[in-house]
Amino acid sequence: MNKDLPVAFTYPSQYFNIRDTLECGQIFRFKRLDDGAYAVYSQDKYAELNYNAEGLVEVRTADCNYFWNFFDCDVDYGEKVKRIAALSPIMDKAATCGKGIRILNQDLTETIFSFIISANNNIKRIQLIIERMCAKLGNETPYGYAFPKTEAMAQAPVELYTQIGAGYRDRYLSETANALINFDLSVFDAMDSEQTRKLLLNFKGIGPKVADCIMLFGLKRGDVFPVDTWLKKVYHEYFEQGHSERDISKYFCELFGADAGLCQQYLFYWRRLQQ
């Protein structure tokens, strides 16, 4: 851990598990350091996280307010866990297992491009593609490269995305970057989740699952439920109602309401740990 970075704040660890929060699939720009601490990158900002001698989460960064908000530190997750655990025995197990997960407040533009890259991909490869893209198009900072500006991504040739390993997503990254140049992302603020999803689906490389991930992790929409292979297993094993696969997300959204996104994270993390 970089001792030259100031300790910006500490936080109780009961409902803030560093590993669980960073390794649950909602963020890709992080790495585990040799001493067990974690480094986290967001836009052009950087933080390191570890547990101090008192067992508190210790966040070292020059951007205190940014990362306080990034880690959702104003929100009482204890109350959320209690409410969700009371829903059913399965949700009690899932919420107890994942109670240290916090939904991060990520930059929307970074979330859009990161989850376009995530489609039909694994985490290691997603991280590598994003790292290469930052090195090619992002501004250099004392701790690495910042996430590229949309303008830089739009100006880059499609071949650059091919070269960094994006595969068929190369043109999606290029076309969506160009589409976002003159697009006001604040329009989502006045839309409900159904309207937001419909608009997101107009961008290249954004399908239903990616749209839901963008809404949950980039727009703080708690009433969405991204469905992947793991959540399909959860549905068929514990919630089976005979829905078609395309309707599983809608079923969970209706079941969990405003807590759907956090329930999804708990179920996803709990089911993966059962392997």
Q: Max CA-CA distance within the chain?
A: 56
Distance CA 223, CA 253 (A): 6
The residues, ordered by sequence, that sit 6+ positions from 88 with a Cβ below 8 Å of its Cβ are none
Q: SS3 for 242?
A: coil
Q: What letter represents residue 223's amino acid?
A: D
Distance CA 226, CA 234 (A): 13
pLDDT value of position 273: 85
Residue 55: other Cβ atoms inside 10 A: 11
Query: What does each of the 275 residues of the chain score in pLDDT, given as a tens digit?
Result: 777 899 999 999 999 999 999 998 999 999 999 889 999 999 999 999 999 999 999 999 999 999 999 999 999 999 999 999 999 999 999 999 999 999 999 999 999 999 999 999 999 999 999 999 999 999 999 999 999 999 999 999 999 999 999 999 999 999 999 999 989 999 999 999 999 999 999 999 999 999 999 999 999 999 999 999 999 999 999 999 999 999 999 999 999 999 999 999 999 999 988 76
Which member of 136, 149, 209, 220 is catalytic?
209
209 catalytic? Reply is yes
Distance CA 114, CA 81 (A): 28
Distance CA 249, CA 219 (A): 18
